[in-house]
Chains A and B, each alone.
Chain A
Amino acid sequence: MKKIVIASAVLLFLPLFSFAGEYAVISNKSVKSFSESEIKAIFLKKLTSIDDITLVPVNLEAGDSLRLKFEEKLLDMSFERLKSYWTKEHYLGHRPPVNMKSEESVKAFVKKVDGAIGYINSNSVDESVKVLYKWSD
């Protein structure tokens, strides 16, 4: 009876854990470790190179749910605030990070390009990339 109760409890709460996604900011292995505030500076193009390596932040496409989570958690900026930021930067001659269509593309780009930094689901991380930061819902 006790086993049945435990099994039922596990089955009952398992879906809750599976919905709590875990995500990772990843970089090319050429890049040193960065703090949370430095990652923000890289994605706002305030920090553009380090140790003679050009930093290349990559975003998922606008509207992607993981991108929205990243911008809310790491950049602490809403879509509208980021729009105003990049409109001003456009006048100053600066471009926003490039967009990639999928997490697979982000991972492949980060693996291949020196200085590249992106974000993907944690369960897609492997030894080909370096994990800079992890967060969950």
Chain B
Amino acid sequence: MYKIIIILALVMSSYAQEEYQLGEGMQVASLPLYVGGYFSSDYKNRDNVISYSLDDIAILGYGDYDKFSYMAEFEYKSFYVETHTGDTVDITKDRKLHTERVYLDYKLNENYMFRVGKYNSPIGFWNLLPVNVLRDTTSSPVSLNILFPKFTTGAGISYSSYNGGETKIDLMLQNNSDLDSDYNNYTVDRHYGFNFSYEKEDYTFKLNGGYFRNIMSYSPIEPDEPHELLVHPQDLYYFLLSGKYDTPNYQLLGEIGTQRKESEFTTNYAGYIQGLYRFSEQHIGVVRLESYDDTLHDMKDDIAIVGYTYRPIYPVAIKSEYQIHSLHLENQFIFSFSMMF
């Protein structure tokens, strides 16, 4: 934690060319370096298990020079978690500073860009902005955790073109170990995936597919449980289709995906539809219906989520949501406060 405080103190004491705006980071002196960060704290109440946590304390730095640009992000994942189960209180403090993203981009021309490093796999809508303050709800859809590796460590190639609408194609290429493998849902040593997206006016469509090799055990329900090396690594294939209709007043969002081994489906389906209504830019209501059937982790559930978000200004979010699960012991209330700076 002290490392982040020292870095921020240095930045705050330096002279920046631009006036600071909350949620947009700040420039360090006149260097091609911008720094910012975010944090999240939440309260969860599930079947008489109550937890308070301070997590996702992160600092990020980025910049560009000529055709090169870079991004680095470091994060404390579960900085402080206090769990009350009946009369028992459990406190965990994870003080390891994780490497969330580190990559270098080279922009060849107006269409092509190459990337090396660790980056968010550009799959679906939620994985590109996996930060509480930027999400519509404190929780993310389960499909995000079970279908594909959230991070890719390796190379990436992007093609984009603008002709009235924006077309984007991304290729993800990993043939090595993860950088900071603790900080990924699946631990993979291979990942080859693609993203195709098209955005025009209020509509966005995305199509994703890929292959990865999972080498460690993983529980999406208890992601912080220790992972064990698998005797037989799993070769898994995924496919995800996403669509969004976004207007100033409301947004409709939906995703449906599947995952399989060569011989059988490991996730028969995982998807959701979500409606969001902006009563104003400060007051936002959300309803999400989710369903999934995951045979790899032997989980199946239907979930209805009702949420309300108050944003006094956009980079500050106060959110509450209630989840109703078909597995009724999973019903829970979540309240969170998060900020980007």
Contacts and interface: CB of A to CB of B under 8 A. Distances in A.
Nearest to B72: A93
Interface in B14-53: 18-19, 21, 23-25, 34, 36, 38
Interface residues of A, number: 28
A46 B340 contact: no
Contacts of A96: 24
Given A41-B166, A80-B314, A86 B129 contact: no
Interface stretch (A15-23, A47-55, A124-132): A47-55
Contact of A90 (B109, B162, B281, B340): B340
Interface residues of B, number: 30
B173 interface: no
A13 interface: no
Interface string A83-120: 11011101111011011000000000000000000000
A78 interface: yes
B331 interface: no
- Considering residues A41, A81, A83, which has the most beta carbons from chain B within 10 angstroms of its beta carbon? A83
Nearest to A52: B109
B24 A90 contact: yes
Given A52-B109, A91-B340, A86 B166 contact: no
B209 interface: no
Contact of B23 (A51, A81, A90): A90
Interface in A52-95: 52, 62, 78, 80-81, 83-84, 86-88, 90-93, 95
B306 interface: no
B340 A81 contact: no
Given A52-B109, A88-B129, A90-B25, A47 B162 contact: yes
Interface of A: 35, 37-38, 41, 46-52, 62, 78, 80-81, 83-84, 86-88, 90-93, 95-96, 98-99
Interface of B: 18-19, 21, 23-25, 34, 36, 38, 60, 62, 69-71, 107, 109-110, 128-129, 131, 134, 162, 164, 166, 248, 281, 313-315, 340
Given A51-B110, A87-B23, 5 more contacts: A47-B162, A49-B110, A90-B23, A90-B36, A90-B340
Closest 8 A-B residue pairs measured CB to CB? Answer: A80-B281, A93-B62, A87-B23, A84-B314, A93-B71, A49-B110, A83-B314, A47-B162
